[in-house]
Structures are given as C-alpha cells and as structure tokens.
Amino acid sequence: MAESDFVTPIKPVKRKWPSRDSTNVSVSTPLNKEPKTLTIPPSPFLKQLGYGTGINVYLMQQPATPSGRVKSPWAVKKLSSLVNKSPNGLKTYETRLAYEANILKGLDHPNIVGYRDAVRGDDGRLCLCMESGEKSLNQLIELRQEEGEPFPPNKIHKVVYAASSALDYLHNNKKLLHGDIKSHNILVKGDFAEIKLCDFGVCMKLKEDLQGLADDSDEYVGTSAYTSSEVLSGGLITDKADIYSLGCVIYEMLSLTMPHMPHMLDDSELSFDESAFSEALGTVPALPDMSYDKLLHPYIALMMICCREDAERRPAAREICETLQQLVEKPGLLE
C-alpha cells in the first residue's frame, strides 16, 4: 500500500464532555435503584491504581467468606475531592459515574472488566466497584521503555485479539461505541493471561446498522491522540472510530510511545511542537525509524489498516478477530 493511502493531515476540532442523564441509558440491566451504603475505607488507606478526570481508582481487599475462602479484590472508582472546586462539579461527575455503572452492569464478556456494585461510601459519594486488573497496558508500556524493544508478537496478538473480541461484542451485541480506546483503558493480569477493556464512562449508543450515533446530540469525548479523522472533522461517527483507536494501541506496543509523539519533540530543547502534533492527529502514526523483526510485520500492517483515514476502509472488529485467528495458522498473512 502506498504511503499516500494513510497520511492526510486533519485539523483538530473542539470536543467537550457530553451531558448524559444515567436514567436515559439503554442497556439490558439498568441501574435504577438508589445505591446502597457500603463501608469503603478512606482513600489514604487504599492503594491507588490509577486516576482520570475527576476520579481516582483504588484497590479494595474483600473480607474472606465464613468458610475462609479469599475473595478477589475490587477496583473502586471514587470521585476526586477536586470535583468540589469546579461549578456543579460533584453533580456532573457523579452523573458520569452513574452512567458508567449503568453501562457496565449490562455488559458480560470475558474481555470486559466485570461490574461488581454501585454504592455510596460513608461520605455519601457514589463509588463504582469493579473487577480489579493488575496493571494497565500503558503502565506495561512505560516499563518496557527501559528495554527499548517493541513487545513480542505473541503479546501484541493477545492484546489485539482480546480488544477486538470485546469491541465486536460492544458493537454488534450492544450497539455501543466505547469512545476512548487507548492503552490506559486496557487492563492486563499476569503475563498477559487476562486482558480486559475498562472505562466505559463515555460510551455512546450506535444505530442498529452501526452507521452513526443513535442520539445526534451525543458528542464524542475520547482522547485526541487516539481520535480518528472523521471524528476530528465532524463527520459520521461509526464503529470504525473505535477501530482507529485500536490501531493506535497497536502502534503504542510497537513504538512504546503515544501516537503522533516521536517527532514532536526537539531533542535540544525538549520543546513540544503543538502545531505539528495537531496536524498529525487522525492520520497513521509514523513508527520510529528502527529495524522491526519480521514476525512483527503483520501487526505493523494491521496497525496501518486500522488507522486508515477513510473509515469505510478500516476493518470491523469481527474481521480483525478472524484475521488474527487465521494468522496463527498462516504466518505472514498480513505481509
């Protein structure tokens, strides 16, 4: 494929958080009742797993059963104290958290983090309790940077297959767009033994044929470095927006850097070229100039296909799963 098939500068557009009422979420088992009260230790006594806009995520150990069986720990997403400093902050962020709980409660897939409960802590604030993951893929990428080598093909394969399988379920079974696929939102247990998508707070309902959002008033949030050209330019948002983002995750595992970043820093001054970064958004991210093992070539090709500017030329999640299954039997399929 010619390089011109992939690289077309796109001008970024403003995006803002959508305003959603959790009572309007259409999932199989909505969160209709008031969350019960559960004793959740104060944040200083919990191990912090991560954080995001307006929230922190902590690890909460579960008490053993009367028979002595040890329960798996929960990940607890709590509102940050900083939300009180913004106008209507607490109400806005709690609505988002309730929306995510509503979505997550209706999902059941081995590659999607499991819902556990939606409760109020002793301070009266809503907390979302979920299955815990050990590390995010982003954390593993940061650790890998010390080695300076791309992830091996088998680990890239596991991540992409798991994420594609989860997206196939979201798109075709639930008619949902994840809306923020990135390495931070992929959890990994053990030596890539379990891989799960998380963070469903900006999901949007898709039309039955996946060609557009079910609610025209919904606005895509996402993360700019992982956002497709059609979203940035105000075009039709389909399931293929998630596929572009998945291509950027493959890029991260190959380059160990955020998409569109390698050539944005001046080595002498470490100054960020914001204009160049903005122009690169929505295009195929350029891999660092280095030699890649031949076994990685199929995943480089898949990354480029997923990140095509033309959404219609990107594969569906199910097609990616099928291709990866064939790749196991026929190495070099995507070369």
**pLDDT tens digits for range 269-323:** 556 778 888 999 999 999 988 889 999 999 999 999 999 999 999 999 999 999 9
Give domain status of residue 148, yes or no.
yes
Among the ranges given (73-77, 79-83, 288-292, 309-313), the one the predictor scored with the smallest mean pLDDT: 79-83
Regarding whether 266 and 122 lie in a shared domain, the answer is no
Among the ranges given (24-33, 91-100, 152-161, 226-235), the one the predictor scored with the smallest mean pLDDT: 24-33
The pLDDT of residue 64 is 61
Task: Tell me which residue range forms the domain holding 126.
Answer: 31-131
Q: At residue 77, does pLDDT exceed 90?
A: no
For 133, phi then psi, to 5°, come to -110, 155
Q: How far apart are CA 11 and CA 233, in angstroms?
A: 7
State mean pLDDT over 107-124.
88
Residue 36 burial by Cβ neighbours in a 10 Å radius (0-12, 13-18, 19+): exposed
Regarding whether 293 and 149 lie in a shared domain, the answer is yes
Coil, helix or strand for 115?
Answer: strand
Residue 92's CB: how many other CB atoms inside 10 A? 15
Residue 53's CATH number: 3.30.200.20
pTM of the model: 0.81
Among the ranges given (24-38, 122-136, 280-294), the one the predictor scored with the smallest mean pLDDT: 24-38
Give domain status of residue 141, yes or no.
yes
Give domain status of residue 19, yes or no.
no
Residue of 173, 198, 152 whose CA lies nearest to 295: 152
What is the chain's mean pLDDT, rounded? 81
The residues carrying an active-site annotation are 180
Select from 108, 131, 154 the last residue of a domain.
131
Among the ranges given (25-29, 121-125, 317-321), the one the predictor scored with the smallest mean pLDDT: 25-29
Give domain status of residue 26, yes or no.
no
Regarding whether 299 and 259 lie in a shared domain, the answer is yes
